[in-house]
Each structure stands twice: as structure tokens, then as C-alpha cells.
């Protein structure tokens, strides 16, 4: 026999405005839930230029020894465009190379990193495409670790790049790198002082980091992350002639339209039915507009034939579409035993 309980949730009211967009393809995605808050031609495949390096960076963080000194070799001689100006034979820690990759968009750093992680650039590209498939980037093809597109080309979509940004943002080291405005490095060859080329960091108070890109074929591309209150978002735009203003406007649109409501809190959850106490192991929050908040329904479904462990689910729905099912558990009360009970047992 199952029992159904309807839980009524009350919310605060955010303010709404409208979005403006100058990109040919763009998206705003909530970093916590993955909900898309805004999109414009988000599944149109385009060249992505140096925002490619987000994938290069996260693979290196996950697969490499960040404190290992890496030697630059002849692979840097074929690189052009933005560079950190490594010299053949120069040694630099992998961690420092990643700062050069993301802050200065070093194409030379990208091929040194690729060789260190996978042995060859070609094998590193295989890792890039495997990772893309793993995190659900269904319309993405990587051909190089830097984004230059005269010889080989990297294609993706705004939606796929938002998925990548969301995945990478979960990594603490990645967040630290993209959120750095200034970085100093010293090798046996020379000293470096790098300033972040992604201008929105420091100019827009809610921006927490990102990566910009440009080639004549791809146009200007940009991936950024932002945080205001309890709402964290990523914004992606492809082929955007006013990318920094556009990202600020799209971020403001999200912050003005959406509030991240804490629908279930595992630390403040109290459900008692027929003297049975129930609990959840995971909290659940979700960004909602003012109009949507009144259409959220929370139902607890309990199988009362079960006496321990998971005994049901809490289903959260918006406009009759299921957003999440959170497992529900029965709290087992421990009986206190006195001295004589313990003795005779």
C-alpha cells in the first residue's frame, strides 16, 4: 500500500526583465542544476576558437601531475597567434602552463600540455573527444587542443560548451585558474607576468571567470561564469561582436528573472506519518521565475510495507514535468537499553 503526501512550498518573489543578445548563438545555464535559463540558436554548430582550451585545461587537471616540470620542445615552433613565448628546452610546471593557457590563451602552452598528458597531440585530441562524449557534448568535434582553425577545426555548440563549462566548474583548481586576474611565473630562462585577457573578470562584479577566443573564421567566442546570491550561471556566446557587454546583459537577465529556490533541505527536513520519521540524504535547489514558483509540486510517495532503508521518493514537478526524484528513507529509532536489559541479553 502506498501513501501520497502533498507538501506545499512557499517562495519569495524575484523581479523580471528582458534579455538582449548580440550573438549568433548563445545560452545561459544554471551551474548547479543544469537548467537552461535562456537560449538562442544554442544547437547550431560553429567554430569555437580558443574556448577550446577549457577542455584542454580540465583534462590536464584531471590527468596530469600539476607540480611536474614539463619541457617545451619542437612542437612549439609550429604555433602562432596568442602565445606565452616559451623557448625550446624551457621547463615550466604543468600548473603554470595551465595559467598561461587560460589567462594568456597560449597556443604554445596548449601543445606542450597535450604532449605531456598524452604523448602526442593526436592522442590528446582523442582524450578531448572521449571527454566530450562522457559529459554529453553531442554536437562537438575536437581536432586540436588550441582552437586555431586554418588546418584543423574544432566545432561545437553553445549548449555543448555550457555543458563543458558546468562540468569544469565543479573542479576547484579550474575555478581558481579562470578566476585569477594576475599571475607570476619564473623559470630558469625568464620571468613572466600574465594578466587575464578575459576582460569581464574584474570589470563585472558578479563574474567569477571564463575564457575568450577569436579567429577570423570563428569570430569572437566567449564562455563566462557568474555568481550572485545563491545563483551560479555560465554564459556562452559564439560569433558575437559585442561579447563582453552581451555576457553582462545576459547575466543580468538571469539574475533578475531567476531565483535559486531551496526546495528540499536535508538539514531541515521533517516528515512524520503515523509516528514514522522520514529523512533525505540530498538537498535539492532549482532556479525558478516568479510565475513558475506557484506551479511547483512536491509529492512524497511511501511504500509502507518497507521498514528500513529507502522506502519511497519525493517527486518534484514543474508544470507537471518531473524535475527530480529524491530518495526517501525511514529513520530507524534506536531503543535505549538499561543496565538489566543489557545484562540479560
CA 158 to mean position of chain CA atoms: 13
DSSP letter (8 states) at residue 197: S
Alpha carbon separation from 335 to 22, 136, 332 (Å, rounded): 65, 48, 9
Q: Looking at residue 334, what is its pLDDT?
A: 55
Which pairing describes strands 46-47 and 155-156: parallel, antiparallel, or unpaired?
Answer: antiparallel
CB 5 within 8 A of CB 271: yes
Alpha carbon separation from 272 to 26, 264, 328, 330 (Å, rounded): 46, 15, 12, 10
Q: Looking at residue 8, what is its pLDDT?
A: 40
Considering just the CA atoms, what is the radius of gyration of the chain in Å?
25
Q: Looking at residue 11, what is its pLDDT?
A: 40
Q: Looking at residue 9, what is its pLDDT?
A: 44
Q: Looking at residue 273, what is its pLDDT?
A: 84
Q: Looking at residue 336, what is its pLDDT?
A: 53
Third-level CATH fold of 2-13+261-330? Spermidine Synthase; Chain: A, domain 2 (2.30.140)
Q: Among 290, 145, 170, which residue's Cα sits nearest to residue 225?
A: 170
User: How many C-beta neighbours within 10 Å does residue 336 have?
Assistant: 6
Cell of 84: 606565452
Give the CATH class of 23-241: alpha beta
Domain boundaries, the chain: 2-13+261-330, 23-241
Mean pLDDT of each 10-residue bin along the chain, 345 residues long: 46 43 97 97 98 98 98 95 96 98 98 98 98 98 97 97 98 98 96 97 97 98 97 98 97 96 91 87 94 91 85 92 93 60 50
Spatial separation of the C-alpha atoms in residues 247 and 138, rounded to whole Å: 24
> Does the pTM exceed 0.85?
yes
The overall longest dimension of the chain from CA atoms, in Å, is 85
Please enumerate, as own/partner, the contacts of 35-41 that have beta carbons within 8 Å and a separation of 24 or more. Answer: 35/286, 35/287, 36/159, 36/162, 37/233, 37/253, 37/254, 37/257, 37/258, 37/287, 38/250, 38/253, 38/254, 39/158, 39/159, 40/158, 41/158
Question: 147-180 as b/e, with b when 16 or more CB fall inside 10 Å?
Answer: bbbeeebbbbbbbbbbbbbbbbbeeebbeebbeb
Question: 37-58 as b/e, with b when 16 or more CB fall inside 10 Å?
Answer: bbbbbbeeebbbbbbbbbbbbb
State the catalytic residues.
Answer: 50, 53, 105
195, β-bridge pairs: 182
47, β-bridge pairs: 155
CA dihedral 253, 231, 161, 165 (to 10 degrees): 150
Q: Looking at residue 264, what is its pLDDT?
A: 92
Q: Looking at residue 338, what is its pLDDT?
A: 57
Q: Looking at residue 272, what is its pLDDT?
A: 86
Amino acid at each position: 500500500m502506498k501513501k501520497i503526501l502533498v507538501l506545499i512550498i512557499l517562495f519569495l518573489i524575484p523581479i523580471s526583465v528582458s534579455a538582449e543578445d548580440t550573438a549568433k548563438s548563445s545560452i545561459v545555464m544554471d551551474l548547479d542544476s543544469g537548467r537552461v535559463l535562456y537560449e538562442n540558436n544554442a544547437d547550431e554548430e560553429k567554430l569555437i576558437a580558443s574556448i577550446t582550451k577549457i577542455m584542454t585545461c580540465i583534462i590536464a587537471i584531471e590527468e596530469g601531475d600539476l607540480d611536474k616540470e614539463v619541457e617545451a620542445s619542437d612542437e612549439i615552433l609550429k604555433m602562432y597567434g596568442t602565445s606565452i613565448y616559451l623557448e625550446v628546452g624551457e621547463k615550466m610546471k604543468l600548473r603554470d602552463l595551465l595559467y598561461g593557457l587560460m589567462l594568456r590563451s597560449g597556443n604554445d602552452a596548449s601543445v606542450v600540455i597535450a604532449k605531456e598528458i598524452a604523448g602526442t597531440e593526436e592522442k590528446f585530441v582523442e582524450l578531448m573527444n572521449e571527454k566530450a562524449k562522457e559529459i554529453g557534448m553531442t554536437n562537438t568535434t575536437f581536432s586540436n587542443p588550441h582552437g586555431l582553425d586554418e588546418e584543423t577545426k574544432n566545432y561545437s555548440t553553445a549548449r555543448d560548451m555550457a555543458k563543458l563549462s558546468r562540468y569544469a566548474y565543479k573542479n576547484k583548481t579550474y575555478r581558481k585558474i579562470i578566476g585569477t586576474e594576475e599571475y607570476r611565473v619564473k623559470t630558469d630562462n625568464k620571468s613572466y607576468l600574465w594578466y587575464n585577457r578575459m576582460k569581464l573578470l574584474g570589470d563585472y562584479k558578479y563574474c567569477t571567470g571564463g575564457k575568450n577566443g577569436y579567429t577570423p573564421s570563428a569570430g569572437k567566442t566567449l564562455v563566462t561564469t557568474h555568481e550572485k546570491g545563491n545563483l551560479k550561471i555560465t554564459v556562452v556566446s559564439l560569433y558575437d561582436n559585442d561579447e563582453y557587454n552581451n555576457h553582462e546583459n545576459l547575466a543580468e537577465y538571469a539574475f533578475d528573472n531567476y531565483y535559486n529556490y531551496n526546495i528540499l533541505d536535508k538539514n531541515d527536513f521533517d516528515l512524520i506519518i503515523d509516528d514514522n520519521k522520514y529523512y533525505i540524504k540530498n538537498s535539492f535547489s532549482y532556479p525558478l521565475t516568479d510565475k513558475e514558483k506557484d506551479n511547483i509540486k512536491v509529492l512524497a510517495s511511501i511504500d509502507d510495507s518497507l521498514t528500513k532503508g529507502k522506502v519511497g521518493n519525493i517527486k518534484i514537478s514543474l508544470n507537471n514535468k518531473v524535475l527530480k526524484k529524491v530518495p526517501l528513507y525511514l529513520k530507524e529509532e534506536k531503543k535505549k537499553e538499561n543496565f538489566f536489559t543489557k545484562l540479560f541479553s
